[in-house]
Amino acid sequence: MTTSSTSSASSDLSVRQQRIVDALRPFFGAEADALYEANGRSLQKLAYSARQSGLPNFHRLATGLALAQELLCEELTTRSVFDTPTAVADFLKLHFAGQPHESFVVLYLDSRHSLIAFEELFRGTLAQTSVYPREVLKRALHHDAAALIIAHNHPSGSTDPSRADELLTQTLKAALAMIDVRVLDHIVVAGARTKSFAEIGLL
């Protein structure tokens, strides 16, 4: 009964989805199909599940995701973020993958705009998170940053910035300018999509 159901589900997969299931088999074996289905055929949701689970197979997948993120991080530390804008977006999408709550992260950059460090500073609810500018300033000084890229996710799936997002950006920009640290961008991440404040003229 289970085998028949799994075979039926597999036959309904698109070419891309089947490719994902095949890539998951080294981690989950025969359970790959069922786990993909249980997570709504969403690799993002499965990635989040892997990061939260302590089971060995999930841990191996989470380790693979962490290595992929470190690969992108390595690129950002050796070049200016302006030379690798897609790497910044990919890094953030991988970090927020499947996350059901909002959180606020900061990329700290040196004078060449290469990555010094990355931190998640605040975590919130499904719809919002509270950000404290004073803490952002403290961490920027701690890392001796010359510039920042800030980002947060929208679990709702919309990349449209809220009025609160715009106000926060301006508040942080003004506060950080007092210690000669520039806010280069604020990026909103919603699943596989991103929106840059700098690109749409909000910074």
Q: Are 112 and 149 in the same domain? A: yes
The CA R_g of the chain, rounded to the nearest whole Å, is 19
Asked, for residue 58, whether it belongs to a domain, the answer is yes
pLDDT at 11 over 70: no
Same domain, 86 and 128: yes
Per the domain annotation, does 186 fall within a domain? yes
Quick one: pLDDT band at residue 182, thresholds 50, 70, 90?
very high
Among 65, 97, 117, the domain-final residue is 65
In tens, the pLDDT along 34-62 reads 988 988 888 888 888 888 888 888 888 88
Q: Do 140 and 184 lie in a common domain?
A: yes
Do 184 and 91 lie in one domain? The reply is yes
* Same domain assignment for residues 110 and 138: yes
Per-residue pLDDT, 43:
83
Q: Which residue is listed with tokens 């530390």?
A: 77
Residue 151 tokens read as: 């980002």
Residues 180 and 143 in one domain: yes
**DSSP reduced 3-state for 18:** helix
Identify whether residues 51 and 87 lie together within a single domain: no
DSSP 8-state assignment for residue 161: P
Share of the chain above pLDDT 90, in %: 43
Q: Are residue 121 and residue 181 in the same domain, yes or no? A: yes
More confident call, 171 vs 128: 171
| Backbone φ, ψ for residue 39 (5° rounding) | -100, 25
pLDDT digits (tens, 9 = 90+) for 71-95: 888 888 888 887 877 889 999 998 9
The answer for residues whose C-beta is within 8 angstroms of residue 188's C-beta and 6 or more apart is: 151, 152, 153, 154, 159, 160, 161, 165, 194, 195, 197
- Give 127's pLDDT tier (boundaries 50, 70, 90): low
Are 53 and 146 found together in one domain? no
> Cα–Cα distance between 195 and 130 in angstroms, integer?
20
CATH number at residue 126: 3.40.140.10
- Domain that includes residue 148, residue range: 81-196
The confidence score (pLDDT) of residue 1 equals: 41
Q: What's the domain count of the chain? A: 2
pLDDT value at residue 106: 96
**Residue 2: what pLDDT?**
45
Residue 171: pLDDT band by 50, 70, 90 thresholds? very high
Does 34 fall in a domain?
yes
Q: 203 in a domain, yes or no? A: no
Query: Which of 38, 65, 92 is a domain's end point?
Result: 65
pLDDT band, very low/low/confident/very high, at 186 (cuts 50, 70, 90):
very high
Kindly state whether residues 101 and 190 are assigned to the same domain.
Answer: yes
Same domain, 121 and 32: no
Cross-sheet strand order for the sheet of 182-190: 115-123, 103-109, 147-153, 182-190, 193-196
Position 98 pLDDT exceeds 50: yes
